[in-house]
Amino acid sequence: MPTDAFLIPMASIIVFDPKSRILYGNEELHFTQNGDMIQITLGGQLSGNPHTKTPRRKGGKRKLSAWNKYVKANSKKPRFRYRNGKLNLKKMAVAFRKTPQGKKSKRR
């Protein structure tokens, strides 16, 4: 008998369906009947977690907005940084609105 198997008396199980799929953590339990005992073994690991959602989009990452591109390109510049290293987003937003992309988004 494998080390990851154990026996349960048949009388202790009310309904026994060997085709039913029962999960224990991320592994599947397999039932085999040995006379008046049921042998339960842990099967191999299932592919993927049954509780996680499948990804919806297959196309990859979304496009960055004009503002995100501006922040990415200018976040290292010292004129948009405080002395403690944080970004001065207010100053960056004012400068972004003066760019052609910033003026486009203002029209909406």
Tens digits of per-residue pLDDT, 12-64? Answer: 554 555 555 666 555 666 667 777 776 767 666 545 555 666 556 577 889 99
In the sheet with 37-45, reading across from the earlier edge strand, the strands are 5-9, 37-45, 27-34, 22-24
pTM of the model: 0.45
Judge contact between 75 and 54, C-beta under 8 A.
Answer: no
Largest CA distance in the chain: 83
* Residue 104 binned pLDDT confidence (cut-offs 50, 70, 90): confident
